[in-house]
Structure 1
């Protein structure tokens, strides 16, 4: 890695920081952080640093959409994102903008006014998202995610029949990608199969790409050739997530029921 100062390295790294001027402004406002701490323009970037850019909380607006809360304490929460809602980004109607409406305000000294998702689900994917309510927890969970210490499990309905279990190692955009899967059940006509999937790596659209390349695309996946059959939307749900609480040390194992459309499609 070529040695660079933060003010140069961060240009174009995020959509909201397209220029050196925008980077300097974000640093001045305290919106650009390195390992959870406010950044300095002259900082030399080192391998392993976690860089994040945050919204200006003073101007953040709340999207008043009710979202199911599966777990919550003063440090973090786990929420069930509905399909069709973007996790975060520049638009107003995002999961991130609903969090202040759905969660209790944090009482810790470094609590966010607007809690932050620590990972994303695709717009079309429903299911569990971990949310940090404090800056320290966001850094800790971000590192746990990078180090593979957060276990994520999905269920998907795919087209046709599949092997009973398997592993997929097909690279995605030149990067290593690893998914494990096992069959849960198939319809008697073998038209659809319910799989449990676990992404060992975290590439964009990894599960969707891997299923499609193995010959059993996820139902409703218009982008990767999935059958657009009965039911609406993508049949992919992040139904279970497990990790160690970064503050209390407790083992967290959260899970949800699948959307009703899954049960309807699997009926013989």
Structure 2
């Protein structure tokens, strides 16, 4: 029998649960760890943080039997990513979902340029993974939020070729300049870049790409509007140009806006990402809180 000091030490390293009735590992952990999400359980499993009878497993559908002991690590791996620009939300052998901060490119636009991909590649190297990050979609440097990177060419190609059928919901939250009177609607236009890489919008086909943005006002005051945006297409600068078309540019947008910058950043954040896993076919749903700086603009004035 373990002595008290040994038990106390072990308790700081892991949580221990005893199986009393048959169940899958996923169902068992969600019940025992009340409030935990399915995707968080998967992330812990993928990070080798769960053992059954002292044998590590990554299988969420592992069949548990009465008498088994399940341990969940309390500690992050020593090789856990530590970056002010990138937070890992979920990871498995095929892909990684991250939350990107503002101020960093999704991928390099020039040789040896610092970007999310270089951070992830270094992280994989430290963990001795024989893979690199493959870009399948992008966020602007000054837009924050959820992104997927593939960890192999096969998954990258599947995501790129079947993006619209795989990704079922992609939403943003934005602070727009001015009080938006309408509750919601849809903006459609053709978007095309000029030689200076400025994206122009046209109500008729200008040889560019057709773009569709749905919007819904959540809050508004005399100065700004908090708006949820759902993309039907994912064109370059789509949200920023479409909101400018409405006369309510994204706050902090110096390229397509009016220069109003109440929070010191572009007020655009990709907060929801739902997709079907390209390998397993499982539904994956991820959501981050709205940035506090956005919400503070709509707090009740004292």
Pair 1:142 & 2:176 matched = no
Asked whether the equivalents of residues 106 and 133 of structure 1 are also in contact (C-alpha less than 8 Å), the reply is: no
- What do the CA deviations read for 1:76-134 (whole angstroms, capped 9, x no partner)? 11101111100101243101101134458899xxx863212211000110001101012
Aligned partner of 1:120 in structure 2 is 138
Q: 2:176 aligns with which of 147, 154, 158?
A: 158
Residues 217 and 227 in structure 1, CA contact (< 8 A), matched pair in contact too:
no
The answer to whether the Cα contact below 8 Å between 2:133 and 2:151 also exists between their aligned partners in 1 is: yes
- Equivalent position SS for 1:243: strand
Distance in 1 separating the partners of 2:226 and 2:164: 28
Change (3 A) 1:240 1:112: farther
Partner of 1:31: none
2: CA distance, partners of 1:145 / 1:224: 27
Query: Computing the radius of gyration over CA atoms, which structure comes out larger, 1 or 2?
Result: 2
Aligned positions, number: 201
Partner-residue secondary structure (3-state), 1:229: coil
Gaps of 5+ in 2: 1-80, 193-205
* Larger strand percent: 2
Do 1:177 and 1:203's aligned partners in 2 also have CA atoms closer than 8 Å? yes
TM-score (norm 2): 0.62
Residue equivalent to 1:182: 216
Structure 1 unpaired stretches of 5+:
1-62
Q: TM-score, structure 1 length as denominator? A: 0.69
Indicate yes or no: 2:246 matched with 1:211: no
Contact 1:239 1:256 in 2 (8 A): yes
Give the 3 Å change call, closer, same or farther, for CA 155–103 of structure 1 in structure 2: farther
Map 1:195-206 onto structure 2 (within 5 A).
195-206=227-238
Q: How does 1:7-86 map to 2 (within 5 A)?
A: 65-66=83-84, 67-86=86-105
Q: State the superposition RMSD in angstroms.
A: 2.3
Which stretch shifts more, 220-229 or 200-209? 220-229
* 1:15-66 superposed Cα distances (whole Å, 9 cap, x missing partner): xxxxxxxxxxxxxxxxxxxxxxxxxxxxxxxxxxxxxxxxxxxxxxxx9735
Structure 1 CA distance for aligned equivalents of residues 90 and 190 of structure 2: 34
Q: Does the 8 Å contact 1:65/1:101 carry over to 2?
A: no
Of 252-261 and 211-220, the range deviating more from structure 2: 252-261
Match of 1:40 in 2: none
Q: Is 2:115 aligned against 1:100?
A: no
